[in-house]
């Protein structure tokens, strides 16, 4: 394998740890805070987690020195979509385990949670770990989307862990995976199994955060990668002065990525799903909003611009949400019949005939291409694949039509030519920024300590992230503390509450206070490529979201 010059140089980067984690690992002790309660539905959640509910928050502090850490066998699992820094979590975990006790062993389960079910693993070695330090991707052991949630699966986990003498499992995942980690922790405790389960907060989407978890890892690097590209496109737009660039950004259930990219690049327009939902906006209204700004810019001779569109937008548009739900229900009921149809045209007319009057109207208003995308590939559960729907093209079409009408009415005199882009996969496996390299390494190192002290059902927590790394605080948060009950597949389930963009939060409010000026002016900012070396203000800064959230 040919290793790039950057990868070689990054091998020698030494991730920064919080001050407490730089202490001799055998002198670090957990300090218990007060007991915790879940964010809501306390009684029901306590009932569901009799053994792991109400645990105290834990922080680490310096104490008397132990002779040696426990000899541990730890299993690690990467769950769900890739996020930059996953390898560093594993490196930090490995280093801390070996420091505390060189006899400890780290098992990497292969291909995600299915690795533990199928007992497929590798044993981590210095050589392997060194080949992945500060690199992007999850390829060291691979990832997967199998969910660990049934008792049958938990029984297999028990058997596999027992067979290797595993006394802790570290699950690196998003809100769903960490919810399942909590359920598994509760299961092990209930069964008297001496297996500790620790979670790590991963997702580029940025929707796993709360009072105690300031950011999920990977968000920083992913948004910086997208912002690099958006800034480049802005500069191109402002040089060529002839295109409107519609850029769709990954991030389905929340618009954090789009918001952060807007804060970094100051585009003319950025749509925020949560706002669209709160205002109950239709595609027509969104189209109006965009077309009005295009017309204003055209008056000043600026027939160009940049628009950010979150991937999940269409699920936030109430009428489209209803349509998608109807299609999902319909296809679930008529799967065989539907699948027997050969052409997209047949599928479209099949569906059209079976929708409610309201949804038929919405469906009919969509361009053919988008109708096709709604019906073409579906996910393993048979649902519409929202990520495959080219919302940016949909908007280009609706805006083109609206501008034509405006031209006919004399309210628009410009020229409109559009380019479409989608950024998602480009950012999930980038080399982690210094921030993510440090944060992830700290999360992993910290997870080893949580495991060593048998703090099961905890999420590895590193806080104070808007400060320099040596001022970060390390500890653990009981996962049940972040839970509430939500309806899933018709049942109420305990889940970690997803963090949406808060319309009264500082990041959105700052954006909202600036956007009218960005819309008409051309106030683009060009962040450029992520820098790993060089001046600290260039290579060590984290996101504006975090800065604003923690500003006074």
Q: Which active-site residues does the annotation give?
A: 205
Helix (H) or strand (E) holding 409: helix 391-409
Shortest spacing between CB 151 and a second copy, in angstroms: 28
The interface with a second copy within residues 8-27 (CB under 8 A) comprises: 8-10
Helix (H) or strand (E) holding 258: helix 256-265
Shortest spacing between CB 524 and a second copy, in angstroms: 8
Shortest spacing between CB 108 and a second copy, in angstroms: 13
Nearer to a second copy, 233 or 366 (CB): 233
Cα(62)–Cα(84) distance, rounded to whole angstroms?
Answer: 31
DSSP conformation letters of 472-525: -EEEEEEGGGGEEEEEETTEEEEEEPP-PPPTTSHHHHHHHHHHHHHHHS----
The interface with a second copy within residues 368-407 (CB under 8 A) comprises: 369, 377
The interface with a second copy within residues 135-174 (CB under 8 A) comprises: 135-139, 142-143
Nearer to a second copy, 11 or 350 (CB): 11
The interface with a second copy within residues 83-142 (CB under 8 A) comprises: 111, 135-139, 142
Single out the segment in contact with a second copy by CB under 8 A; choices: 19-27, 175-183, 199-207, 239-247: 239-247
Q: How far are the Cα atoms of 214, 221, 434 from residue 135, in angstroms, in the given order?
A: 23, 12, 11
Shortest spacing between CB 307 and a second copy, in angstroms: 14
Q: How would you write 419-452 as a 3-class SS string?
A: EEEEECHHHHCCCCCHHHHHHHHHHHHHHHHHHH
- Contact by Cβ (8 Å): 60, 31: yes
Number of H helices, E strands in the chain: 24, 15
Binding pattern for the stretch 322-351 against a second copy, x by CB under 8 A and - elsewhere:
------------------------------
The interface with a second copy within residues 423-462 (CB under 8 A) comprises: 425-431
The correct pick among 236, 288, 547, 549 for binding a second copy (CB under 8 A) is 236
The correct pick among 538, 547, 549, 550 for binding a second copy (CB under 8 A) is 538
- Contact by Cβ (8 Å): 199, 477: no
Nearest to 224 by CA among 551, 536, 532, 533: 532
Number of residues lying near a second copy (CB under 8 A): 65
513 binds a second copy (CB under 8 A): no
Cβ neighbours of 261 (radius 10 Å): 32
Please provide residue 505's backbone torsions phi and psi, each rounded to the nearest 5 degrees.
Answer: -80, 160
Shortest spacing between CB 408 and a second copy, in angstroms: 15
3 binds a second copy (CB under 8 A): yes
- Contact by Cβ (8 Å): 78, 143: yes
408 binds a second copy (CB under 8 A): no
Single out the segment in contact with a second copy by CB under 8 A; choices: 160-168, 248-256, 418-426, 441-449: 418-426
Measured in residues, the chain has a length of 552
The correct pick among 541, 543, 545, 546 for binding a second copy (CB under 8 A) is 541
Shortest spacing between CB 331 and a second copy, in angstroms: 19
Residues 6+ apart with CB under 8 A from 345: none
Contacting positions for a second copy (CB under 8 A): 1-10, 81-82, 111, 135-139, 142-143, 225, 228-229, 231-233, 235-236, 238-241, 245, 264, 266, 369, 377, 417, 419, 421-422, 425-431, 523-535, 537-539, 541
């Amino acid at each position: 394998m040919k290793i790039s010059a950057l990868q070689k140089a990054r091998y020698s980067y030494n991730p920064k740890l919080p001050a407490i984690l730089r202490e001799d690992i055998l002198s670090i002790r957990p300090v218990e805070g007060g007991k915790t309660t879940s964010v809501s539905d306390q009684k029901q959640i306590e009932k569901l987690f009799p053994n792991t509910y109400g645990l105290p928050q834990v922080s680490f502090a310096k104490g008397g020195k132990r002779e040696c850490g426990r000899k541990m066998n730890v299993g690690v699992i990467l769950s769900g979509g890739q996020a930059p820094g996953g390898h560093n979590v594993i490196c930090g975990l490995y280093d801390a385990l070996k420091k505390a006790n060189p006899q400890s062993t780290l098992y990497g389960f292969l291909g995600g949670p299915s690795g533990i079910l199928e007992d497929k693993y590798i044993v981590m070695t210095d050589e392997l770990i060194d080949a992945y330090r500060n690199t992007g991707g999850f390829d060291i052991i691979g990832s997967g989307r199998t969910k660990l949630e049934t008792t049958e699966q938990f029984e297999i986990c028990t058997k596999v862990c027992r067979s290797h003498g595993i006394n802790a499992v570290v699950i690196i995942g998003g809100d769903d995976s960490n919810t399942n980690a909590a359920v598994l922790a509760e299961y092990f405790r209930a069964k008297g199994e001496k297996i500790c389960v620790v979670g790590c907060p991963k997702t580029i989407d940025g929707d796993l955060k709360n009072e105690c978890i300031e950011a999920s890892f990977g968000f920083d690097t992913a948004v910086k990668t997208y912002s690099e590209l958006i800034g480049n496109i802005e500069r191109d737009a402002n040089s060529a002065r002839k295109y409107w660039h519609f850029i769709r950004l990954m991030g389905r259930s929340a618009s954090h990525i789009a918001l952060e990219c807007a804060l970094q690049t100051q585009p003319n327009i950025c749509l925020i799903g949560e706002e669209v939902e709160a205002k109950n906006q239709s595609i027509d209204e969104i189209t109006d909003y965009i077309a009005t700004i295009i017309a204003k810019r055209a008056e000043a001779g600026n027939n160009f611009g940049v628009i950010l569109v979150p991937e999940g937008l269409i699920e936030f548009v109430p009428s489209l949400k209803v349509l998608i739900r109807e299609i999902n229900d319909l296809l679930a009921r008529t799967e065989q019949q539907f699948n027997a149809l050969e052409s997209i045209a047949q599928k479209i007319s099949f569906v059209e005939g079976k929708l409610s009057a309201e949804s038929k109207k919405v469906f009919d208003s969509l361009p053919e291409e988008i109708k096709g995308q709604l019906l073409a590939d579906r996910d393993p559960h048979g649902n519409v694949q929202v990520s495959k729907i080219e919302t940016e093209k949909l908007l280009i079409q609706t805006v083109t039509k609206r501008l034509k009408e405006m031209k006919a009415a004399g309210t628009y005199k410009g020229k409109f030519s559009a380019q479409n882009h989608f950024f998602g996969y480009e950012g999930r496996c980038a080399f982690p920024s210094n921030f993510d390299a440090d944060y992830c390494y700290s999360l992993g190192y910290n997870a080893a300590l949580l495991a060593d002290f048998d703090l099961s059902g905890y999420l590895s927590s590193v806080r104070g992230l808007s400060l320099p790394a040596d001022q970060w605080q390390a500890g653990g948060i009981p996962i049940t503390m972040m839970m509430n009950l939500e309806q899933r597949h018709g049942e109420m389930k305990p889940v970690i509450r997803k963090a949406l963009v808060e319309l009264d939060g500082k990041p959105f409010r700052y954006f909202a206070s600036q956007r009218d000026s960005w819309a008409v002016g051309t106030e683009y900012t060009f962040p450029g490529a992520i820098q790993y070396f060089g001046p600290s203000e260039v290579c060590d800064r984290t996101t504006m979201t975090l800065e604003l959230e923690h500003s006074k």
